Amino acid sequence: MPPAQFSHIDLRCPLFIPGNRRDMLGKAGRYSPSAYIPDMEDSVPTANKEEARAITGEALPYLFELGKAVVPRVNSLETGLTEGDLEAVVGRHIVGISIGKVRSAGDIALVDGMLSELEVDRGIKVGTVGILPWLERASAIVNAFEICNASERVRWVAFGAEDYSADMGISRAVDVEGGNMGTVDEYGEASLLYARSTVAVAARAADVQALDTPYVKFRDPDGLRSEAGLARRLGYSGKFAIHPAQVEVIEEIFSPTDAEIERARRVLEVARVAELEGRGSVSLDGEMVDAPVVARARNVLARANIDLDD
């Protein structure tokens, strides 16, 4: 079982903030995402990596006091910067770290070892800091379940469409404005469907939360709504925001509606009555209610943070 410190943390809508932007980090309290992701990786130019490391480390106590989960994104193992980034952020102010371009379970083992050494050095219980790996390479998609299951620290996993597309040598719709890149009905870009689905299934199999790639057109709420809806249908529990304006839409899409909650309650009630009467199934509004339907109803109420005993 995952350590209690982070097993319950819902990262439904984490907000990226560039780690080299002291001004933007200082305004984080104006927004209400599920978590803050001070980013030392892709949103920071190479020349500013050291600066971002220092600024992010200084900002962590402030972010922590805002009452949201803090999960800094460190640079990938292939950059040689990971260890220094971890030294700058590991401590009581974070619930986990995010790391990109993970390729295998072996990468997770390396990061796990680094975290354990730092936790011991800083008097923190080993296993306290979680890992949020980004699956954004072809090798990562092939190894998705092994990565998700590589360590008890892995409680969330992210699909990264931008780097995945680059690794595969394919373009995205955003690269060819007005062009036909191929879609699968309501399931978005055909080139991403397999990888996106694989990450969601692997995460579920390993009992971790799957978070969908950011939607890069931050001034396009309709496009964001569509892509977030796709991610939810595929089994994702959340999606990253790269702009504060995206938070409300993402929270709405990944939160059950009043109608969904009401139906879930009705399903559980008729199932309870059926059980008392010794029946394995019952009908509701012309639909058979059996064990899978009850399980889905429980999932809806759990996403809404409603106690099933209420």
pLDDT at 33 over 80: yes
pLDDT value of position 181? 47
What pTM was computed for the model? Answer: 0.84
pLDDT band at 64 (very low <50, low <70, confident <90, very high): very high
Give the lowest-confidence range in 184-188, 211-215, 273-277: 184-188
The band of 2, judged by pLDDT with boundaries at 50, 70 and 90, is: very low
Q: Is the pLDDT of residue 248 over 80?
A: yes
The answer for residues whose C-beta is within 8 angstroms of residue 202's C-beta and 6 or more apart is 144, 145, 147, 148, 157
End-to-end CA distance of the chain: 26
Of 2 and 290, the one with more pLDDT: 290
pLDDT digits (tens, 9 = 90+) for 70-85: 999 999 999 999 999 9
Q: Which pLDDT score, from 0 to 100, does residue 309 have?
A: 62
pLDDT over threshold 60, residue 3: no
Q: What is the mean pLDDT of the chain?
A: 88
| Biggest CA pair distance of the chain | 69
What is the pLDDT, as a whole number, of residue 158?
98
